[in-house]
Structure 1
Amino acid sequence: MLLELACILLVTNLVAAKEVLTFEVTGEHNLTDHGRIVGGSASSEAQWPWQVAIYKSRSQGSYYFVCGGSLIGNNYVLSAAHCFTESDITGLLLRFGVHDITNPSEHTVDRYASTYRNHEDYDGNTFEADISLLYFTDSITYNYYVQPIGLPASTITVSGGETCVVSGFGETMGTGTSLAQMRYANVDIIDLTTCNSWYSAISVTVTNDHICAGYETGGIDSCQGDSGGPLICPVSTSNDSLYVLQGITSFGDGCAQARRPGAYTSVQSYIAWIIRYSGLETGEGIELIPDPGNSAMRHGAAIYSWLWLILLHRFVQHIVK
Protein backbone atom coordinates (compact mmCIF):
# COMPACT_ATOMS: atom_id res chain seq x y z
CA MET A 1 0.00 0.00 0.00
CA LEU A 2 2.82 2.39 0.86
CA LEU A 3 4.56 1.65 -2.44
CA GLU A 4 1.33 2.27 -4.37
CA LEU A 5 0.87 5.62 -2.58
CA ALA A 6 4.45 6.60 -3.34
CA CYS A 7 3.97 5.75 -7.02
CA ILE A 8 0.78 7.81 -7.19
CA LEU A 9 2.57 10.78 -5.63
CA LEU A 10 5.40 10.45 -8.14
CA VAL A 11 2.87 10.42 -10.99
CA THR A 12 1.30 13.62 -9.62
CA ASN A 13 4.69 15.30 -9.41
CA LEU A 14 5.58 14.28 -12.94
CA VAL A 15 2.49 16.03 -14.30
CA ALA A 16 3.78 19.30 -12.86
CA ALA A 17 7.43 18.78 -13.78
CA LYS A 18 9.29 18.92 -17.11
CA GLU A 19 9.90 15.54 -18.64
CA VAL A 20 13.29 14.91 -20.23
CA LEU A 21 12.64 13.05 -23.45
CA THR A 22 14.83 10.51 -25.16
CA PHE A 23 15.22 10.43 -28.92
CA GLU A 24 17.40 9.22 -31.75
CA VAL A 25 19.50 11.45 -34.01
CA THR A 26 18.95 10.18 -37.49
CA GLY A 27 14.82 15.79 -35.51
CA GLU A 28 25.06 44.05 -55.68
CA HIS A 29 21.74 42.34 -57.08
CA ASN A 30 19.46 43.67 -54.32
CA LEU A 31 20.02 40.23 -52.84
CA THR A 32 19.76 39.99 -49.11
CA ASP A 33 21.27 37.42 -46.84
CA HIS A 34 18.13 36.21 -45.22
CA GLY A 35 17.04 36.76 -41.85
CA ARG A 36 12.98 36.98 -40.09
CA ILE A 37 10.02 34.88 -40.97
CA VAL A 38 7.50 36.97 -42.94
CA GLY A 39 3.90 35.76 -42.87
CA GLY A 40 4.62 33.00 -40.37
CA SER A 41 3.48 32.13 -36.87
CA ALA A 42 4.92 32.50 -33.38
CA SER A 43 6.67 29.35 -32.18
CA SER A 44 5.89 27.58 -28.95
CA GLU A 45 8.77 27.06 -26.55
CA ALA A 46 10.73 23.91 -27.48
CA GLN A 47 8.78 23.54 -30.72
CA TRP A 48 12.03 23.65 -32.73
CA PRO A 49 14.63 22.42 -30.20
CA TRP A 50 17.49 22.31 -32.74
CA GLN A 51 17.27 26.05 -33.50
CA VAL A 52 20.38 27.95 -32.42
CA ALA A 53 20.83 31.69 -31.97
CA ILE A 54 24.35 32.89 -32.80
CA TYR A 55 25.79 36.08 -31.33
CA LYS A 56 28.99 38.03 -31.96
CA SER A 57 30.90 39.87 -29.26
CA ARG A 58 31.38 43.62 -29.12
CA SER A 59 34.55 45.28 -27.92
CA GLN A 60 32.80 46.20 -24.65
CA GLY A 61 32.16 42.53 -23.87
CA SER A 62 28.49 42.51 -24.83
CA TYR A 63 26.95 40.37 -27.57
CA TYR A 64 24.57 40.98 -30.45
CA PHE A 65 22.51 38.53 -32.47
CA VAL A 66 23.72 37.86 -36.02
CA CYS A 67 22.40 34.57 -37.40
CA GLY A 68 20.57 31.36 -36.79
CA GLY A 69 21.90 27.83 -36.90
CA SER A 70 20.96 24.19 -36.41
CA LEU A 71 22.27 21.81 -33.76
CA ILE A 72 23.36 18.62 -35.55
CA GLY A 73 25.45 16.93 -32.85
CA ASN A 74 26.70 17.26 -29.28
CA ASN A 75 29.50 19.58 -30.46
CA TYR A 76 28.39 20.88 -33.86
CA VAL A 77 26.18 23.60 -35.30
CA LEU A 78 25.46 24.12 -38.99
CA SER A 79 24.94 27.65 -40.31
CA ALA A 80 25.62 29.86 -43.35
CA ALA A 81 29.12 30.93 -44.43
CA HIS A 82 28.04 34.51 -45.14
CA CYS A 83 27.41 34.97 -41.41
CA PHE A 84 31.10 34.77 -40.48
CA THR A 85 34.46 36.32 -41.31
CA GLU A 86 38.01 35.50 -40.22
CA SER A 87 37.77 38.03 -37.40
CA ASP A 88 34.98 35.93 -35.86
CA ILE A 89 37.31 33.09 -34.93
CA THR A 90 36.77 34.11 -31.32
CA GLY A 91 33.78 35.67 -29.66
CA LEU A 92 30.95 33.58 -31.12
CA LEU A 93 28.26 32.74 -28.59
CA LEU A 94 25.94 29.83 -29.40
CA ARG A 95 22.64 29.87 -27.55
CA PHE A 96 20.51 26.71 -27.40
CA GLY A 97 16.98 26.19 -26.11
CA VAL A 98 16.26 29.84 -26.88
CA HIS A 99 12.76 31.10 -27.55
CA ASP A 100 13.39 34.84 -27.13
CA ILE A 101 16.78 36.17 -28.25
CA THR A 102 16.60 39.09 -25.83
CA ASN A 103 15.40 37.19 -22.80
CA PRO A 104 17.15 33.91 -21.90
CA SER A 105 15.07 31.47 -19.89
CA GLU A 106 15.94 28.74 -17.40
CA HIS A 107 16.08 26.36 -20.36
CA THR A 108 18.68 28.36 -22.28
CA VAL A 109 22.14 26.83 -22.62
CA ASP A 110 25.17 28.81 -23.82
CA ARG A 111 28.33 27.56 -25.47
CA TYR A 112 31.21 29.38 -27.12
CA ALA A 113 32.40 28.29 -30.54
CA SER A 114 35.97 27.01 -30.43
CA THR A 115 36.29 27.27 -34.18
CA TYR A 116 34.26 27.35 -37.34
CA ARG A 117 34.87 26.24 -40.90
CA ASN A 118 33.35 28.00 -43.90
CA HIS A 119 33.25 25.85 -47.00
CA GLU A 120 36.38 26.41 -49.06
CA ASP A 121 34.29 27.05 -52.21
CA TYR A 122 32.07 29.70 -50.65
CA ASP A 123 31.43 32.59 -53.05
CA GLY A 124 30.04 35.74 -51.47
CA ASN A 125 28.75 37.00 -54.83
CA THR A 126 26.73 33.96 -55.87
CA PHE A 127 26.24 32.45 -52.38
CA GLU A 128 27.50 29.13 -53.73
CA ALA A 129 28.68 26.79 -50.95
CA ASP A 130 27.05 29.06 -48.35
CA ILE A 131 27.59 26.67 -45.48
CA SER A 132 29.58 26.79 -42.24
CA LEU A 133 30.30 24.21 -39.55
CA LEU A 134 30.81 25.50 -36.01
CA TYR A 135 32.50 23.43 -33.32
CA PHE A 136 32.34 23.87 -29.55
CA THR A 137 34.39 21.76 -27.12
CA ASP A 138 32.00 21.65 -24.18
CA SER A 139 29.56 18.97 -25.32
CA ILE A 140 25.90 19.78 -24.91
CA THR A 141 23.46 17.46 -23.15
CA TYR A 142 20.18 16.90 -24.97
CA ASN A 143 16.88 17.48 -23.20
CA TYR A 144 13.34 18.49 -24.03
CA TYR A 145 14.41 22.01 -25.05
CA VAL A 146 17.72 21.20 -26.74
CA GLN A 147 17.79 18.48 -29.40
CA PRO A 148 19.58 17.93 -32.72
CA ILE A 149 17.99 17.74 -36.13
CA GLY A 150 18.90 14.76 -38.30
CA LEU A 151 20.95 15.04 -41.49
CA PRO A 152 19.32 13.64 -44.63
CA ALA A 153 20.45 10.26 -45.94
CA SER A 154 21.08 10.04 -49.68
CA THR A 155 17.65 8.48 -50.16
CA ILE A 156 15.84 11.41 -48.50
CA THR A 157 15.44 14.15 -51.10
CA VAL A 158 13.06 17.05 -51.72
CA SER A 159 11.23 17.96 -54.90
CA GLY A 160 8.95 20.68 -56.17
CA GLY A 161 5.60 20.93 -54.44
CA GLU A 162 6.68 19.49 -51.09
CA THR A 163 5.97 21.55 -47.99
CA CYS A 164 8.80 22.26 -45.56
CA VAL A 165 9.26 24.47 -42.49
CA VAL A 166 11.60 27.43 -41.99
CA SER A 167 12.22 29.03 -38.59
CA GLY A 168 14.22 31.92 -37.21
CA PHE A 169 14.48 35.24 -35.41
CA GLY A 170 14.60 37.74 -38.29
CA GLU A 171 12.22 40.36 -39.64
CA THR A 172 8.48 39.77 -39.71
CA MET A 173 7.44 42.34 -42.28
CA GLY A 174 10.50 43.05 -44.40
CA THR A 175 10.67 46.55 -42.92
CA GLY A 176 13.83 46.24 -40.86
CA THR A 177 11.89 45.78 -37.63
CA SER A 178 12.61 42.51 -35.84
CA LEU A 179 10.84 40.80 -32.99
CA ALA A 180 12.63 38.80 -30.34
CA GLN A 181 10.65 35.57 -30.30
CA MET A 182 11.16 32.73 -32.73
CA ARG A 183 8.75 32.31 -35.61
CA TYR A 184 8.19 29.66 -38.24
CA ALA A 185 6.38 29.22 -41.54
CA ASN A 186 5.42 26.50 -43.98
CA VAL A 187 6.95 27.00 -47.41
CA ASP A 188 6.61 25.02 -50.62
CA ILE A 189 9.64 23.70 -52.49
CA ILE A 190 9.93 25.26 -55.95
CA ASP A 191 11.91 23.39 -58.58
CA LEU A 192 15.17 25.09 -59.55
CA THR A 193 14.20 25.60 -63.20
CA THR A 194 11.08 27.55 -62.24
CA CYS A 195 12.96 29.42 -59.53
CA ASN A 196 15.68 30.54 -61.95
CA SER A 197 13.11 31.59 -64.55
CA TRP A 198 11.68 33.97 -61.96
CA TYR A 199 15.06 35.25 -60.79
CA SER A 200 16.22 35.80 -64.38
CA ALA A 201 14.13 38.98 -64.33
CA ILE A 202 16.82 40.52 -62.12
CA SER A 203 19.73 38.65 -63.76
CA VAL A 204 20.31 36.37 -60.79
CA THR A 205 21.08 32.67 -61.01
CA VAL A 206 20.33 30.35 -58.11
CA THR A 207 23.15 27.79 -58.14
CA ASN A 208 22.51 24.05 -58.23
CA ASP A 209 23.58 23.65 -54.61
CA HIS A 210 20.51 25.58 -53.44
CA ILE A 211 16.86 24.80 -52.79
CA CYS A 212 14.17 27.37 -53.54
CA ALA A 213 11.19 27.57 -51.19
CA GLY A 214 8.28 29.97 -50.89
CA TYR A 215 5.27 30.86 -53.01
CA GLU A 216 4.79 32.34 -56.47
CA THR A 217 2.53 35.01 -55.00
CA GLY A 218 4.95 35.75 -52.14
CA GLY A 219 3.60 36.62 -48.72
CA ILE A 220 5.52 33.99 -46.74
CA ASP A 221 9.30 33.83 -46.59
CA SER A 222 12.41 34.00 -44.45
CA CYS A 223 13.94 37.46 -44.12
CA GLN A 224 16.88 39.39 -42.65
CA GLY A 225 17.95 37.74 -39.41
CA ASP A 226 16.91 34.20 -40.36
CA SER A 227 20.25 33.62 -42.11
CA GLY A 228 21.89 30.31 -41.28
CA GLY A 229 18.72 28.89 -39.79
CA PRO A 230 17.07 25.60 -40.72
CA LEU A 231 14.80 24.54 -43.54
CA ILE A 232 13.43 21.20 -42.36
CA CYS A 233 11.45 18.84 -44.56
CA PRO A 234 9.46 15.63 -43.97
CA VAL A 235 11.29 12.39 -44.53
CA SER A 236 8.38 11.30 -46.73
CA THR A 237 5.00 12.60 -47.84
CA SER A 238 3.37 9.81 -45.83
CA ASN A 239 5.03 10.94 -42.58
CA ASP A 240 4.91 14.68 -42.02
CA SER A 241 6.03 14.46 -38.38
CA LEU A 242 9.50 13.07 -39.12
CA TYR A 243 11.84 15.79 -40.33
CA VAL A 244 15.45 16.20 -41.48
CA LEU A 245 17.57 19.28 -42.17
CA GLN A 246 17.42 19.88 -45.91
CA GLY A 247 18.37 23.54 -46.17
CA ILE A 248 20.24 26.46 -44.61
CA THR A 249 18.72 29.93 -45.04
CA SER A 250 20.99 31.68 -47.54
CA PHE A 251 19.65 34.59 -49.64
CA GLY A 252 16.74 36.13 -51.49
CA ASP A 253 15.55 39.26 -53.27
CA GLY A 254 13.87 41.27 -50.54
CA CYS A 255 11.42 39.35 -48.36
CA ALA A 256 8.22 37.54 -49.33
CA GLN A 257 8.00 39.18 -52.75
CA ALA A 258 6.08 37.53 -55.58
CA ARG A 259 8.24 35.17 -57.67
CA ARG A 260 11.19 35.73 -55.37
CA PRO A 261 11.30 32.64 -53.14
CA GLY A 262 14.00 32.20 -50.55
CA ALA A 263 17.15 30.32 -51.55
CA TYR A 264 18.52 27.74 -49.11
CA THR A 265 21.86 25.96 -49.25
CA SER A 266 21.13 22.29 -49.91
CA VAL A 267 22.44 20.23 -46.99
CA GLN A 268 22.19 17.16 -49.22
CA SER A 269 24.78 18.73 -51.55
CA TYR A 270 27.32 18.98 -48.73
CA ILE A 271 26.73 15.82 -46.72
CA ALA A 272 30.17 14.43 -47.57
CA TRP A 273 31.78 17.70 -46.46
CA ILE A 274 29.82 17.76 -43.19
CA ILE A 275 30.69 14.15 -42.39
CA ARG A 276 34.34 14.71 -43.29
CA TYR A 277 34.81 17.52 -40.80
CA SER A 278 32.39 16.46 -38.08
CA GLY A 279 32.40 12.68 -38.13
CA LEU A 280 28.62 12.73 -37.89
CA GLU A 281 26.45 10.40 -39.92
CA THR A 282 23.17 10.74 -41.72
CA GLY A 283 20.07 9.03 -40.45
CA GLU A 284 16.34 8.72 -40.62
CA GLY A 285 15.39 12.07 -39.13
CA ILE A 286 13.91 13.16 -35.85
CA GLU A 287 10.27 13.15 -34.85
CA LEU A 288 8.73 16.54 -34.35
CA ILE A 289 7.66 17.04 -30.75
CA PRO A 290 4.00 18.02 -30.15
CA ASP A 291 3.19 21.48 -28.85
CA PRO A 292 5.15 21.72 -25.58
CA GLY A 293 2.24 23.61 -24.06
CA ASN A 294 0.22 20.39 -24.15
CA SER A 295 1.15 18.85 -20.80
CA ALA A 296 -0.87 15.74 -21.53
CA MET A 297 1.26 15.04 -24.59
CA ARG A 298 4.47 15.93 -22.79
CA HIS A 299 3.92 13.82 -19.72
CA GLY A 300 1.70 11.04 -21.00
CA ALA A 301 4.57 8.61 -21.48
CA ALA A 302 5.88 9.20 -17.95
CA ILE A 303 2.45 8.80 -16.39
CA TYR A 304 1.83 5.52 -18.19
CA SER A 305 5.24 4.28 -17.08
CA TRP A 306 4.39 4.86 -13.44
CA LEU A 307 0.92 3.36 -13.79
CA TRP A 308 2.58 0.30 -15.28
CA LEU A 309 4.80 0.04 -12.18
CA ILE A 310 1.75 0.21 -9.93
CA LEU A 311 0.04 -2.60 -11.85
CA LEU A 312 3.25 -4.62 -11.82
CA HIS A 313 3.51 -4.21 -8.04
CA ARG A 314 -0.06 -5.42 -7.59
CA PHE A 315 0.63 -8.39 -9.85
CA VAL A 316 3.73 -9.33 -7.84
CA GLN A 317 1.75 -9.08 -4.59
CA HIS A 318 -0.90 -11.35 -6.08
CA ILE A 319 1.72 -13.95 -7.09
CA VAL A 320 3.32 -13.86 -3.64
CA LYS A 321 -0.03 -14.47 -1.99
Structure 2
Amino acid sequence: YGSHTCGATLLSSLFALTAAHCVTEDDGSDHGKTSASASLSVLIGESRLDFDPSNPSSECSGLVGVEEVIRHPNYSTTTLANDFALLKFAKPRPEGCMRGVPVLDDEPTVASPGTLAVVAGWGRTSPDSASTQVYPVQSYSVTVPVVSRANCSMAYGYNMPGVMMCAGVMEGGKDACQGDSGGPLFIPSASPFCEPSTLIGVVSWGNGCAAPGFPGVYARVSAMRSCIV
Protein backbone atom coordinates (compact mmCIF):
# COMPACT_ATOMS: atom_id res chain seq x y z
CA TYR A 1 0.00 0.00 0.00
CA GLY A 2 1.30 3.46 -0.84
CA SER A 3 3.18 2.43 -3.98
CA HIS A 4 0.35 2.09 -6.49
CA THR A 5 1.27 3.52 -9.90
CA CYS A 6 -0.79 1.84 -12.63
CA GLY A 7 -3.48 -0.67 -13.41
CA ALA A 8 -3.29 -3.88 -15.44
CA THR A 9 -5.53 -6.65 -16.75
CA LEU A 10 -5.01 -10.33 -16.00
CA LEU A 11 -4.79 -12.24 -19.30
CA SER A 12 -3.69 -15.72 -18.28
CA SER A 13 -2.01 -17.65 -15.50
CA LEU A 14 1.33 -16.08 -16.49
CA PHE A 15 0.61 -12.66 -17.97
CA ALA A 16 -1.05 -9.32 -17.31
CA LEU A 17 -1.42 -6.46 -19.78
CA THR A 18 -0.61 -2.86 -18.89
CA ALA A 19 0.50 0.36 -20.62
CA ALA A 20 4.09 0.64 -21.83
CA HIS A 21 4.41 4.12 -20.34
CA CYS A 22 3.81 2.56 -16.91
CA VAL A 23 6.99 0.49 -17.20
CA THR A 24 9.24 2.91 -19.08
CA GLU A 25 12.03 5.07 -17.69
CA ASP A 26 13.50 8.09 -19.45
CA ASP A 27 16.90 7.47 -21.04
CA GLY A 28 16.81 10.28 -23.58
CA SER A 29 15.55 8.10 -26.44
CA ASP A 30 12.09 7.91 -27.99
CA HIS A 31 11.70 4.29 -26.87
CA GLY A 32 12.87 4.82 -23.30
CA LYS A 33 14.24 2.18 -20.96
CA THR A 34 12.25 -0.77 -19.64
CA SER A 35 11.70 -0.69 -15.88
CA ALA A 36 13.39 -3.44 -13.88
CA SER A 37 11.00 -6.33 -13.28
CA ALA A 38 12.28 -6.76 -9.72
CA SER A 39 10.80 -3.37 -8.83
CA LEU A 40 7.29 -4.43 -9.86
CA SER A 41 4.49 -6.51 -8.43
CA VAL A 42 0.86 -7.01 -9.43
CA LEU A 43 -2.09 -7.01 -7.04
CA ILE A 44 -4.61 -9.64 -8.12
CA GLY A 45 -8.09 -10.39 -6.83
CA GLU A 46 -8.38 -7.52 -4.35
CA SER A 47 -10.45 -4.36 -4.69
CA ARG A 48 -8.72 -2.46 -1.89
CA LEU A 49 -5.12 -1.26 -1.79
CA ASP A 50 -5.02 -1.49 2.00
CA PHE A 51 -5.70 -5.23 2.08
CA ASP A 52 -3.88 -7.37 4.63
CA PRO A 53 -1.32 -9.57 2.80
CA SER A 54 -1.48 -12.06 5.66
CA ASN A 55 -5.24 -12.36 5.24
CA PRO A 56 -6.14 -12.28 1.52
CA SER A 57 -9.79 -12.40 0.54
CA SER A 58 -9.26 -15.69 -1.32
CA GLU A 59 -6.57 -18.18 -2.29
CA CYS A 60 -6.50 -16.51 -5.69
CA SER A 61 -5.70 -13.02 -4.45
CA GLY A 62 -2.57 -11.21 -3.34
CA LEU A 63 0.64 -9.65 -4.64
CA VAL A 64 2.45 -11.44 -7.46
CA GLY A 65 6.06 -10.82 -8.42
CA VAL A 66 7.04 -9.90 -11.98
CA GLU A 67 9.77 -11.89 -13.76
CA GLU A 68 9.85 -10.06 -17.08
CA VAL A 69 8.54 -6.85 -18.64
CA ILE A 70 7.84 -7.02 -22.39
CA ARG A 71 7.07 -3.67 -24.00
CA HIS A 72 5.79 -3.26 -27.53
CA PRO A 73 8.93 -2.89 -29.71
CA ASN A 74 7.49 0.18 -31.46
CA TYR A 75 6.31 2.03 -28.37
CA SER A 76 7.01 5.77 -28.60
CA THR A 77 7.45 7.99 -25.56
CA THR A 78 6.75 11.00 -27.79
CA THR A 79 3.42 9.97 -29.30
CA LEU A 80 2.49 7.15 -26.87
CA ALA A 81 1.72 4.99 -29.91
CA ASN A 82 1.72 1.23 -29.23
CA ASP A 83 1.27 1.82 -25.51
CA PHE A 84 1.23 -1.86 -24.54
CA ALA A 85 3.35 -3.97 -22.21
CA LEU A 86 3.07 -7.52 -20.92
CA LEU A 87 4.02 -8.41 -17.36
CA LYS A 88 5.17 -12.01 -16.97
CA PHE A 89 4.66 -13.37 -13.47
CA ALA A 90 7.47 -15.02 -11.55
CA LYS A 91 5.12 -17.94 -10.83
CA PRO A 92 2.01 -19.02 -12.76
CA ARG A 93 -1.35 -18.45 -11.14
CA PRO A 94 -3.46 -21.53 -10.34
CA GLU A 95 -5.73 -22.38 -13.28
CA GLY A 96 -8.70 -22.30 -10.90
CA CYS A 97 -8.05 -18.59 -10.41
CA MET A 98 -8.65 -17.58 -14.01
CA ARG A 99 -12.38 -16.85 -13.71
CA GLY A 100 -13.23 -13.37 -14.94
CA VAL A 101 -10.32 -13.12 -17.38
CA PRO A 102 -11.57 -11.16 -20.43
CA VAL A 103 -11.28 -12.08 -24.07
CA LEU A 104 -9.30 -9.73 -26.30
CA ASP A 105 -11.18 -7.70 -28.88
CA ASP A 106 -10.14 -8.83 -32.35
CA GLU A 107 -12.47 -6.70 -34.48
CA PRO A 108 -12.65 -2.89 -34.51
CA THR A 109 -16.42 -3.13 -35.10
CA VAL A 110 -16.92 -4.59 -31.62
CA ALA A 111 -16.05 -1.20 -30.13
CA SER A 112 -18.01 0.95 -32.58
CA PRO A 113 -18.80 4.58 -31.67
CA GLY A 114 -21.49 4.80 -29.02
CA THR A 115 -20.74 1.38 -27.54
CA LEU A 116 -20.82 1.58 -23.75
CA ALA A 117 -17.65 0.39 -22.04
CA VAL A 118 -16.33 0.35 -18.49
CA VAL A 119 -13.01 1.75 -17.30
CA ALA A 120 -11.79 0.76 -13.85
CA GLY A 121 -8.90 1.40 -11.49
CA TRP A 122 -7.48 3.07 -8.40
CA GLY A 123 -6.78 6.36 -10.11
CA ARG A 124 -7.58 9.84 -8.86
CA THR A 125 -11.22 10.61 -8.26
CA SER A 126 -10.59 14.34 -8.77
CA PRO A 127 -8.49 16.10 -11.42
CA ASP A 128 -7.31 18.51 -8.73
CA SER A 129 -3.85 17.38 -7.62
CA ALA A 130 -4.42 19.11 -4.29
CA SER A 131 -7.47 16.94 -3.58
CA THR A 132 -7.45 15.26 -0.19
CA GLN A 133 -8.50 12.05 -1.95
CA VAL A 134 -5.73 11.70 -4.51
CA TYR A 135 -5.67 7.90 -4.78
CA PRO A 136 -8.66 6.02 -3.37
CA VAL A 137 -8.16 2.89 -1.32
CA GLN A 138 -11.13 1.25 -3.05
CA SER A 139 -11.13 0.69 -6.80
CA TYR A 140 -13.76 2.50 -8.85
CA SER A 141 -15.31 2.10 -12.28
CA VAL A 142 -17.29 4.31 -14.65
CA THR A 143 -19.22 3.64 -17.84
CA VAL A 144 -18.31 5.73 -20.89
CA PRO A 145 -19.25 5.54 -24.59
CA VAL A 146 -16.72 4.84 -27.32
CA VAL A 147 -15.98 7.99 -29.35
CA SER A 148 -15.24 7.85 -33.07
CA ARG A 149 -11.67 8.43 -34.25
CA ALA A 150 -12.89 11.35 -36.33
CA ASN A 151 -14.46 13.11 -33.35
CA CYS A 152 -11.51 12.32 -31.12
CA SER A 153 -9.04 13.61 -33.72
CA MET A 154 -11.09 16.78 -33.99
CA ALA A 155 -11.09 17.23 -30.22
CA TYR A 156 -7.31 16.92 -29.94
CA GLY A 157 -6.39 18.56 -33.25
CA TYR A 158 -4.36 15.45 -34.00
CA ASN A 159 -4.92 12.62 -36.47
CA MET A 160 -5.53 9.79 -34.03
CA PRO A 161 -3.71 6.68 -35.32
CA GLY A 162 -5.41 3.31 -35.59
CA VAL A 163 -3.50 1.92 -32.62
CA MET A 164 -5.43 4.34 -30.39
CA MET A 165 -9.12 4.73 -29.57
CA CYS A 166 -11.16 7.14 -27.47
CA ALA A 167 -13.98 6.87 -24.96
CA GLY A 168 -15.72 9.40 -22.75
CA VAL A 169 -18.56 11.89 -22.54
CA MET A 170 -17.90 15.10 -24.46
CA GLU A 171 -19.54 17.22 -21.76
CA GLY A 172 -16.92 15.90 -19.30
CA GLY A 173 -17.29 14.52 -15.81
CA LYS A 174 -16.54 10.83 -16.50
CA ASP A 175 -13.07 9.58 -17.34
CA ALA A 176 -10.00 7.69 -16.27
CA CYS A 177 -7.38 9.75 -14.41
CA GLN A 178 -3.80 9.60 -13.15
CA GLY A 179 -3.25 6.22 -11.52
CA ASP A 180 -5.67 4.46 -13.87
CA SER A 181 -3.06 4.17 -16.65
CA GLY A 182 -2.58 0.62 -17.87
CA GLY A 183 -5.99 -0.42 -16.60
CA PRO A 184 -8.81 -1.92 -18.67
CA LEU A 185 -11.49 -0.48 -20.89
CA PHE A 186 -13.90 -3.35 -21.44
CA ILE A 187 -17.36 -4.20 -22.68
CA PRO A 188 -19.14 -6.07 -19.88
CA SER A 189 -20.61 -9.45 -20.65
CA ALA A 190 -24.39 -9.65 -20.86
CA SER A 191 -24.09 -13.00 -19.06
CA PRO A 192 -21.13 -12.62 -16.67
CA PHE A 193 -21.50 -16.14 -15.27
CA CYS A 194 -21.42 -17.67 -18.74
CA GLU A 195 -19.39 -15.39 -20.97
CA PRO A 196 -16.29 -13.24 -20.39
CA SER A 197 -16.13 -9.50 -20.85
CA THR A 198 -14.28 -8.12 -23.89
CA LEU A 199 -11.15 -6.05 -23.37
CA ILE A 200 -11.09 -3.27 -25.98
CA GLY A 201 -8.58 -0.76 -24.63
CA VAL A 202 -5.77 0.04 -22.21
CA VAL A 203 -5.83 3.40 -20.40
CA SER A 204 -3.15 5.52 -22.09
CA TRP A 205 -3.45 9.34 -22.03
CA GLY A 206 -5.70 12.38 -22.24
CA ASN A 207 -5.98 16.12 -21.66
CA GLY A 208 -6.32 16.22 -17.90
CA CYS A 209 -9.16 14.16 -16.43
CA ALA A 210 -12.82 14.34 -17.41
CA ALA A 211 -12.31 17.73 -19.09
CA PRO A 212 -15.20 18.84 -21.33
CA GLY A 213 -14.46 18.24 -25.00
CA PHE A 214 -11.61 15.79 -24.39
CA PRO A 215 -12.40 12.07 -24.19
CA GLY A 216 -9.85 9.67 -22.75
CA VAL A 217 -7.40 8.02 -25.13
CA TYR A 218 -6.72 4.28 -24.96
CA ALA A 219 -4.39 1.83 -26.66
CA ARG A 220 -6.66 -0.15 -29.00
CA VAL A 221 -6.52 -3.87 -28.21
CA SER A 222 -7.88 -5.02 -31.59
CA ALA A 223 -4.98 -3.30 -33.37
CA MET A 224 -2.41 -5.18 -31.30
CA ARG A 225 -4.15 -8.46 -30.53
CA SER A 226 -1.77 -10.52 -32.67
CA CYS A 227 1.17 -9.11 -30.69
CA ILE A 228 -0.44 -9.84 -27.33
CA VAL A 229 -1.64 -13.43 -27.72
TM-score when scaled to structure 1? 0.61
Alignment of 1:167-182 (within 5 A): 167-176=120-129, 177-182=134-139
Q: Secondary structure at the match of 2:4?
A: strand
Q: Which residue of 1 aligns with 2:183?
A: 229
Going from structure 1 to structure 2, the CA distance change for 1:224 and 1:80 (only over 3 Å counts) comes to same
Residues 265-314 of structure 1 show CA distances to partners (whole Å, capped at 9, x for unaligned) of 01111111112xxxxxxxxxxxxxxxxxxxxxxxxxxxxxxxxxxxxxxx
Return the alpha-carbon distance in structure 2 between the equivalents of residues 156 and 240 of structure 1.
Answer: 20
1:97/1:145 contact within 8 Å kept:
no
2:50 counterpart letter in structure 1: T
Q: Which residue of 2 aligns with 1:83?
A: 22
Q: Which residue of 1 aligns with 2:104?
A: 151
Return the alpha-carbon distance in structure 2 between the equivalents of residues 125 and 240 of structure 1.
Answer: 40
Identity %: 29
Q: Secondary structure at the match of 2:146?
A: strand
Alignment of 1:1-321 (within 5 A): 64-85=3-24, 86-104=34-52, 106-107=56-57, 108-141=61-94, 147-154=100-107, 157-176=110-129, 177-200=134-157, 204-234=158-188, 239=190, 241=192, 242=195, 243-275=197-229
Q: CA deviation at 1:73?
A: 0.3
What's the C-alpha RMSD, in Å, of the aligned pairs? Answer: 2.2
Q: CA deviation at 1:80?
A: 0.1
Higher helix share: 1
Return the alpha-carbon distance in structure 2 between the equivalents of residues 126 and 250 of structure 1.
Answer: 11
Q: CA deviation at 1:103?
A: 2.5
Q: CA deviation at 1:199?
A: 1.0
Task: Show structure 1 runs of 5+ residues with no match.
Answer: 1-54, 56-62, 276-321
Return the alpha-carbon distance in structure 2 between the equivalents of residues 179 and 195 of structure 1.
Answer: 29
Return the alpha-carbon distance in structure 2 between the equivalents of residues 111 and 155 of structure 1.
Answer: 32
Residues 213-244 of structure 1 show CA distances to partners (whole Å, capped at 9, x for unaligned) of 00110110000000000000157xxx475521
Q: How many residues align?
A: 208
Residues 178-225 of structure 1 show CA distances to partners (whole Å, capped at 9, x for unaligned) of 21110000000000001111111xxx4432211100011011000000
Residues 52-89 of structure 1 show CA distances to partners (whole Å, capped at 9, x for unaligned) of xxx9xxxxxxx711110000000000000000132423
Going from structure 1 to structure 2, the CA distance change for 1:240 and 1:210 (only over 3 Å counts) comes to farther
Q: Secondary structure at the match of 1:170?
A: coil
Larger Rg: 1
2:11 counterpart letter in structure 1: I
Q: CA deviation at 1:95?
A: 1.1
Residues 153-190 of structure 1 show CA distances to partners (whole Å, capped at 9, x for unaligned) of 44862110110000000000112312111000000000
* Larger RCO: 1 or 2 (CA < 8 Å, sep 6+): 1
Q: CA deviation at 1:128?
A: 0.3
Going from structure 1 to structure 2, the CA distance change for 1:222 and 1:90 (only over 3 Å counts) comes to same
Q: Which residue of 2 aligns with 1:29?
A: none
Return the alpha-carbon distance in structure 2 between the equivalents of residues 128 and 93 of structure 1.
Answer: 25
